[in-house]
């Protein structure tokens, strides 16, 4: 899957002003490659994994001069985040000896449409538009805040809610146990996340 996503990034090429187009093309290609029009069960998992890789590719392509790195699938047993519940990404002061946790990043993203038989079908409530997705992300933020109270916690998403209970929950959490909900398609949100991490290092 990583090869598909990296090839999309280089073919476009990926830039600050075409992140949404990049995501759409990635989801289209992943959908076609894994036949997600037929395999409904695999769709959420494949799109979630694709979004996770997209985040890393976007960081690598648009912020190539970073003095820190985003480690992927990091275990934090003290925050009840291990085995199947690892942190999607983390920034650590030292990867081995002094594992001071600078930031934990939760990725929540998916396609908002799928192309099947040359027909575009809208998919309901991708990213943080689903209340159960929001609840899971906020639960992880709570776990992280209890185990690492001085660390940052970000939720990076493909879709930020604009109304309803999902937005209400995001508003309650952001600025408290969630330092920022980052719209991955908004470069200024990404810039602010990077700035906050740099200031905490």
What pLDDT sits at residue 33? 95
- The 3-state DSSP class for residue 37 equals coil
Pairwise CA distance, residues 129 & 54, whole Å: 19
What pLDDT sits at residue 39? 82
Residue 120 φ then ψ, to 5°: -85, 120
What pLDDT sits at residue 149? 96
What pLDDT sits at residue 26? 98
The top-level CATH class assigned to 2-200 is alpha beta
Q: Quick one: which of 66, 87, 68, 67 has its CA closest to 76?
A: 87
Tokens of 100: 């001071």
CB 126 within 8 A of CB 111: yes
What pLDDT sits at residue 124? 86
Reported pTM = 0.95
pLDDT in tens, the chain (201 residues): 999 999 999 999 999 999 999 999 999 999 999 999 988 788 999 999 999 999 999 999 999 999 999 999 999 999 999 988 999 999 998 755 667 899 999 999 999 999 999 999 999 899 999 999 999 999 999 999 999 999 999 999 999 999 999 999 999 999 999 999 999 999 999 999 999 999 998
Q: Quick one: which of 97, 102, 109 has its CA closest to 69?
A: 102
Tokens of 6: 């990296």
What pLDDT sits at residue 84? 87
Number of DSSP helices (H) and strands (E) in the chain, helices first = 6, 7
What pLDDT sits at residue 12? 96
**Domains of the chain, residue spans:** 2-200
């Amino acid at each position: 899957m990583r090869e598909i996503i990296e090839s999309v990034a280089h073919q476009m090429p990926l830039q600050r002003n075409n992140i949404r187009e990049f995501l759409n093309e990635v989801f289209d290609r992943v959908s076609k490659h894994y036949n997600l029009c037929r395999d409904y069960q695999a769709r959420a998992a494949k799109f979630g994994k694709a979004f996770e890789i997209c985040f890393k590719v976007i960081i690598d392509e648009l912020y190539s001069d970073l003095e820190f790195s985003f480690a992927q699938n990091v275990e934090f047993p003290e925050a009840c985040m291990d085995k199947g519940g690892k942190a999607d990404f983390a920034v650590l002061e030292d990867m081995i000896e002094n594992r001071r946790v600078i930031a934990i990043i939760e990725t929540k993203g998916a396609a908002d449409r799928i192309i099947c038989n040359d027909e575009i079908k809208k998919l309901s409530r991708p990213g943080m538009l689903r209340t159960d997705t929001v609840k899971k992300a906020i639960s992880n933020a709570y776990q992280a805040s209890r185990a690492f109270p001085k660390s940052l916690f970000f939720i990076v998403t493909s879709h930020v809610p604009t109304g309803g209970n999902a937005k209400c929950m995001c508003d309650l959490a952001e600025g408290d146990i969630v330092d920022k909900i980052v719209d991955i398609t908004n470069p200024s949100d990404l810039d602010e996340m990077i700035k906050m991490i740099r200031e905490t290092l």
